[in-house]
Structure 1
Amino acid sequence: MTKLETQTRPEGEILWLHATTIQRYLALCDIAHRLKSMRPDLFVLATWEAGMGQMPETEGCDHALGALAPDQSPESRYFLNHWRPDLCLWAGGNLRRGMMRQMRELGISALLVDIEEQELPTRKLRWLPDQRRRLFGGFNAVLTPAKAVQRQLIKAGMPRDQIHLTSPLRLSAVPPGCDQQVLASLQQRLGSRPVWLASRVQLAELPQLLDSHRTALRLLHRMLLVIALDDPESCARARNLVQDSGLNCTDWNANEEINDYTQILITDSANLGLWYRLAPVTLLASSLQPQMPGQSPLEALALGTVVLHGPGCGHHQPVYDQLAPLKATKQIRTARELAEAVIHLSAPDVAARWALAGWTAVTEGAAMTDQLLEQVQDILDLREETHAAP
């Protein structure tokens, strides 16, 4: 936001998101995307801190304005006067005193979320009145994962009922559904056969996948690999490549039956909710080459499958960085690494341990997301009722 904006303010409700890290930006946009399904006319603006670079495009943001201008600059004042958002979701610290004062004057509602102790503004002179009460008093509520933040704000004079302890702000997932009858039928048909899935596979990745599966079959002779192709138009070409490799192939989309000799099942990516539930181990493909876009691991983890991925993560890299310390996902680089990971993780006790770590990581932010959605809805509904009153 380096120059004065000239776009006309749309009619209706405007939600302004401001993030201080890319992880928070993605999480806020995910929340906005869910809100837009409940409030179709909601318009979403987004800003972030200088130095964060360009943010990835997301479904939750209608207008990404870029880095927020310095406090009390002409651009900063114009931004609020022009857009007059109904509600601001501010994630993290770097609060602007002048902008917060202007928001109070304009009657803009605001929620502060995910602020940590080290992000609190410091009190410069102990013998002066604590100005933080006025700064934070401009927020309808503060949602923080840190008890130390709660203690300091209460000490500064902020009402206790405006400060809520929550889990950290995280991207969460709404798992895709599936036909339960089809799932039960497949589970019965496959019995104890080990299964792994490669989702959204590009044709360029197929040779490496087939090499890995052939290696895995030496130890797990009955293992089935489900290949869900990224492009459904490439099914015929993929089938030819599998057959040329000497592996036995079944085409799910052609209604071919899985039998005891099926080593590869080819399908598209339209029913990933089914395959994530069926396969204890999943490679999130479109990732085996560094320049590939990768996939978000959240839906797969939410359904209890162990997630493997290649070096190509695209704009999903911050999500993987967040999950890596929790040992919720595993990166592989070669066909041998992939085969070894599939074999190791196919042991039920190992798969269960990894799946639990992944599920825990994904659901950690679910309560926070639900709580924030509820508060945003309440604030917007109240503003709507107030403005509609004669």
Structure 2
Amino acid sequence: MTTATPPRPHRSALMALYLGLSHLTPPLFRRVQTRRLAAGKEDAARRGERWGRDDRPRPAGPLVWFHAASVGESLSLLGLVETLRAERPEIGILVTTGTVTSAGLMADRLPEGAVHAFAPYDTPGAMAAFLDHWRPDLAVWAESELWPRMVHDTFARGIPMLLINARVSAASAQGWTRAKGLVGGMLTRFGAILAQDEETAGRLTALGAPAGRLRVTGTLKEDATAPGCDPVELGRLKALLTGRPCWLAASTHPGEEEIAAQAHRAAFDAPTLMILAPRHPERGPALADSLRTDGWRVARRAAGEDPGPDTQIYLADTLGEMGLWYRLAPLSFVGGSLVEVGGHNPYEPAALGSAILHGPHVANFAPIYARLAAADAALEVRGADSLAQGLAALSTPGAAEQQAARARTAAREAAGATRAALAAILDALPGKTDA
């Protein structure tokens, strides 16, 4: 697939209407920013970045700009960014996201030569200031974070554009159909679109993506490196838990914590410990209060508390430590799946040897969960009773280890998305050299 010839964009009345109205939206975005600052959801010291202003100089040489929505999308890019920097160290990297949480993670984990900035608001002035300052040689969008003004203005500057790791759920596609002209107008501006799966490819084609620029390459999460951890802290916690079995309820959402606690009570006697890592750690204090009201003895990681001999639930309400919990727990329930969220990433527990349990709502990662099911490498549960039964079954000698080994093999079968994305990036860069 080549992206050397600039694509011809589809023109739509909806795109023209959006672009016209975007001149009137700066006051709205200012009010949004004020509310988010008050709620602690914006970084006050970096508020100018939302308007395209940045005091840091643009790196010398070619610059690839990656744009992602938040934590999950930006983390999926890390392996690709690291590979690109390793193979083409002369290429600078800019990653933009929209949340404080993702900014913190990128600051900790981006390699040398890569910087993070907050994504500019979708206004003419913010986009002009952003593009004037950074002058990217290539723009790469991840998954489905498409803003019309951002897409239009980047294309208008003659900057080559890619959409990689594209994923569109059935619900999102149905919503986008109501603005098909607008979505199609954006999709035709990309020189290449790399979809995670055939379902997404079909939905994008129906929305107006040119079939000749679209192909299925799998998901970058399949190739993502396993999350790291502090080995000293891992050793310390293992020593604290000597003789105590444990299991992990990971990336849970409201409603799932209660189910996990019920299953824990039904499946295990003391001294088994449940490690609870909510998807949104800021819920930690309220969760601890609720669990204690229900009679549980809880220790909170964010409060500096360790699990003691009598602790029943260890609330892992911190960011960036999933690698620690998956290494510590031989069994993991992956949340967002007993409630209609769509499921979360099973690649990390698969890579780190933790056996996987999940609920029925896994549309966000349907292909990998289907592979895991076909390989008898994950266990679907439907509620507290079946979660308790699954935990008990996988706690028998050798059961968790055998399932985890099957999961690791199944998750590796579709690797290759990173190499496909890297090839598309190098092909699209102006003045490219052969890889």
Q: Structures share a fold, TM > 0.5?
A: yes
| 1:199 alignment counterpart | 250
Matches of 2:232 and 2:219 in 1, distance apart?
A: 36
Q: Which amino acid aligns with 2:291?
A: V
Q: Deviations over 1:105-163 (max 9, x none)?
A: xxxxx89776xxxxxxxxxxxxxxxxxxxxxxxxxxxxxxxxxxxxxxxxxxxxxxxxx
Structure 1 residues 204 and 4, CA, compared in 2 at 3 Å: closer, same or farther? same
Q: How far is 1:33 from its partner?
A: 8.5
- What is the alpha-carbon distance in structure 1 between the residues aligned to residue 331 and residue 309 of structure 2? 20
Aligned to 1:34: 80
- Which amino acid in 1 is paired with 2:407? G
Return the letter of the residue paired with 1:308: L
RMSD: 4.6
Q: Which residue of 1 aligns with 2:420?
A: 372
The match for 1:307 is 356
The one-letter code sitting in structure 1 at the alignment partner of 2:249 is A
Offset at residue 345 of structure 1 (A): 1.2
Q: Is 1:384 equivalent to 2:384 in the alignment?
A: no
1:277 aligns with 2:327: yes
8 Å Cα contact 1:170-1:365 kept in structure 2: no
In structure 1, what is the equivalent of residue 411 of structure 2?
A: 362
**Structure 2 CA distance for partners of 1:288 and 1:112, relative to 1, 3 Å:** closer
The code of the aligned residue for 1:217 comes to F
Q: 1:223 aligns with which of 245, 257, 272?
A: 272
CA distance in 2, matches of 1:332, 1:88: 35
CA contact (8 A) 1:276 1:300 kept: yes
- 1:4 and 2:50 equivalent? no
**Aligned partner of 2:396 among 338, 344, 347:** 347
Q: Which runs of 5+ in 1 are unaligned?
A: 16-25, 58-63, 68-74, 95-102, 104-109, 115-167
Percent sequence identity is 26
Give the CA deviation at 1:350: 0.8
The correspondence for 1:256, drawn from 276, 297, 305, is: 305
Is the 1:327–1:357 contact (alpha carbons within 8 Å) kept by the matching residues of 2?
A: yes
Is contact 2:426-2:433 (8 Å) kept? no
For residue 399 of structure 2, give the secondary structure of its aligned residue in structure 1: helix
For the 8 Å contact 2:377–2:404, the answer to whether it is kept is: yes
Q: Distance in 2 between matches of 1:14 and 1:256?
A: 40
Offset of residue 335 of structure 1: 0.8
TM score, norm. by length of structure 2: 0.53
Question: What corresponds to 1:286 in structure 2?
Answer: 336
Deviation at 1:346, TM superposition (A): 2.1
Aligned-residue offset at 1:196:
0.4
The structure whose Rg is larger is: 1
Given candidates 222, 226, 233, the residue that maps to 1:182 is: 233
Q: Does 1:213 align with 2:213?
A: no
Cα distance in 1, alignment partners of residues 291 and 254 from structure 2:
11
SS of residue matched to 1:240: helix
Q: Give CA deviations for 1:255-292 in whole Å, capped at 9, x if unaligned.
A: 22322211111121511111011111111123222x23
The equivalent position to 2:375 in structure 1, one of 326, 350, 358, is: 326
Q: Which amino acid aligns with 1:185?
A: R
The whole-number CA distance in structure 2 between the counterparts of 1:386 and 1:288 is 48
1:43 and 2:139 correspond: yes
Q: CA separation in 2, counterparts of 1:197 and 1:362?
A: 20
- Cα distance change of structure 1 residues 274 and 55 upon mapping to structure 2, 3 Å threshold: farther
8 A contact 2:230–2:324 mirrored in 1: yes
- Superposed CA deviations along residues 151-180 of structure 1, whole A, max 9, x for unmatched, are xxxxxxxxxxxxxxxxx8885132221111
Task: Tell me, in whole angstroms, the C-alpha distance in 2 between the residues paired with 1:361 and 1:306.
Answer: 13
TM-score (norm 1): 0.59
Q: 1:263 to 1:169 in 2, by over 3 A?
A: closer
Number of aligned residue pairs: 285
Write the letter of the residue equivalent to 1:384: G
Quick one: structure 1 residues 195 and 4, their matched pair in 2 at CA, closer, same or farther if it must change by over 3 Å?
same
